Amino acid sequence: MKPVLTPEQAIEAIKDGSSVMAGGFMGCGNAFTLIDALINKGSKDLTLITSDTAFPEVGVGRLICQGRVKNLYATHIGTNPVSGQKMNSGEMNVTLVPQGTFSERIRAKGAGLGGVLTPTGIGTDIEKGKQKLTIEGKEYLLELPLGAEFALIKAEVCDKQGNCFLPMATKNAAVVMAMSADYVIVEAEAIVEAGALDPDKVTIPGVFISAIVKSVLPAANLQLKA
Amino acid sequence: MDPKEKRIRLVKRIAQEFPDGALVNLGIGMPTMVADYIPQGRTILLHSENGFTGLGPQAKKGEEDPRLVNAGGQPVTIVPGGCFFDSSMSFAIIRGGHVDYTVLGALEVDEQGNLANYMIPGKMIPGMGGAMDLVVGAKNVIIAMEHVNKNGAPKILKRCSLPLTAVGEVDLIVTDMAFIRVTKKGLVLEEIAEDTTVEEVIKCTEAKLHVPGKLGKF
């Protein structure tokens, strides 16, 4: 059985300077309750690993705007202008990673692989500092595994063994993040007894999950165009 | 013709390239308009890099579902025949060569089919997102863009000056003025827009353009 905790209990071990992965894509699938708890706790100097920084008032975007992130690994920051500002001012270090490489590096860590060979980035600035291998005449970059101390995952349903269902487009990078972080917290809209979630409909196996938290904040991630 | 009509003309021309049943990824901005001009009798399947195929029209006001957005974070719909998956699967589809066509914008394209579209150092650094994987993985890479930038300078160059998204991957360049194919021997001007001339196109292009005997119009 996985512990069902309050948001504050679940994030207790997250200290200033911790590395945190956050599932979500443009806010869709961000764990709003956990992110809110992190902000309220005053956590700062975080290394945040997430697909993008959403929008200023949404999910992980708020962590950026509040100046809580010292190092950011992301694939795209264009939708949140504050990210670019903090990068240019030197307040935040930003490492931009191609999205396919991002999910595969994280997966490699969780899957016990030494790295991945990808053709993405060959001939570009992405090559810098990386080993290149030629296999059967084609060049690949050796990209290394990427893990974190914590991962914040949003699920619709989670059973008490941690098996969870992530609907629709909320899956994104959360699936591989759950594999690769040391302590994985699932924020679930519904927490059910083991057996109540069809084992054939599980998105993330409970074996990766460390703790479960009940979601209290709705997924209000939509920045609707006027 | 005003700029908006020219944009529609170029996305309409791109839409004609897709055979029935093609798996297509459309980049944010102008490329998304291509979906509105698929010729009658043909159906394509749109891939959304954030984790599904069957990307449909924007969600109706009041019917938005926060669990279903496009790669730009806007609420959308999914059509019958689509399916959801995670990022690792999404990019296996992309990098593994399963996307037939990707259409994206560009800051610069050059004679060798190099593409620069993800940053202007010191000025604009939005990040590459899925662009590098898309351009490397997709079977056909189509660039949809204005022929010259807002200062009137050519965007089709001898060599890209900005950081590259990928090397030698562009297959077609479609602008408000021209339809250009990237080949081993260089850029071939296959068609020009109805309201321009070959001379005008060459004037607005820094790269060398091969002009075949027979020239199409669009």
Find which of B52, B70, B83, B91 to mutate to test the A interface (most A CBs within 10 Å of its CB): B91
pLDDT score for A223: 65
Residue A87 lies in a domain: yes
Please tell me the predicted confidence (pLDDT) of residue B124. 83
A168 located within any domain: yes
Tell me how far apart the alpha carbons of residues A8 and A25 are, in angstroms, rounded to a whole number.
24
Considering the domain boundaries, does residue A113 fall inside one?
no
Q: Is B88 within 8 Å of A124 when comparing Cβ atoms?
A: no
Cross-chain residue pair A173–B86, CB shorter than 8 Å: yes
A169 lies in some domain: yes
Domain CATH for A167: 3.40.1080.10
Is A226 contained in some domain? Answer: no
- pTM over 0.90, yes/no: yes
Closest of A132, A36, A22 to residue A75, by C-alpha: A22
The CA distance from A41 to B57, in Å, is 40
Q: How far is A187 from chain B (nearest CA, A)?
A: 15
- The active-site residue, picked from B17, B49, B111, B169, is B49
How close is the nearest chain A Cα to the Cα of B214, in Å? 35
Cβ <8 Å between A75 and B127 = yes
Looking at beta carbons, which residues of chain B come within 8 Å of A107? 88
Whether A41 is in a domain gets the answer yes
> Where in the sequence is the domain holding A51, given as residue range(s)?
16-96+147-214
In a domain, A33, yes or no: yes
What pLDDT, in 10s, does the model give residues B90-147?
999 999 999 999 999 999 999 999 999 999 998 888 999 999 999 999 999 999 999 9
pLDDT of residue A225: 53
Question: How many inter-chain contacts (A to B, CB under 8 Å) are there?
Answer: 162
Residue A171 lies in a domain: yes
ipTM over 0.90? The verdict is yes
Residue listed under structure tokens 């997966």: A107
Number of domains into which chain A is organized = 1
Which segments in chain A show pLDDT lower than 70? 221-226
CA distance A28 to A167: 10
Residue B48, SS3?
strand
Query: How many Cβ atoms sit within 10 Å of the Cβ of residue B2?
Result: 7
A76·B129 Cβ contact <8 A: yes
A167 and A201 Cβ atoms separated by less than 8 Å: no
Are B71 and A174 within 8 A, CB to CB? no
CA of B55: which chain A residue's CA is closest? A169
| Residue with more model confidence, B3 or B158 | B158
Q: Say whether domain B3-217 belongs to CATH 3.40.1080.10.
A: yes
Give yes or no: B169 in active site: no
pLDDT band at B192 (very low <50, low <70, confident <90, very high): very high
Query: Between chains, do A219 and B66 touch, taking CB under 8 Å as contact?
Result: yes
Give the one of A54, A94, A103 whose C-beta lies nearest to B87's C-beta: A103
d(CA A113, CA A105): 9
Between vectors from CA A140 to CA A139 and to CA A142, what angle results, nearest 5°? 145
Q: Is the pLDDT of residue B187 over 60?
A: yes
- Mutation pick from B88, B112, B120, B165 vs chain A, by most beta carbons of A within 10 Å, is B88
pLDDT the model gives residue A80: 93
DSSP code of residue A200 = G
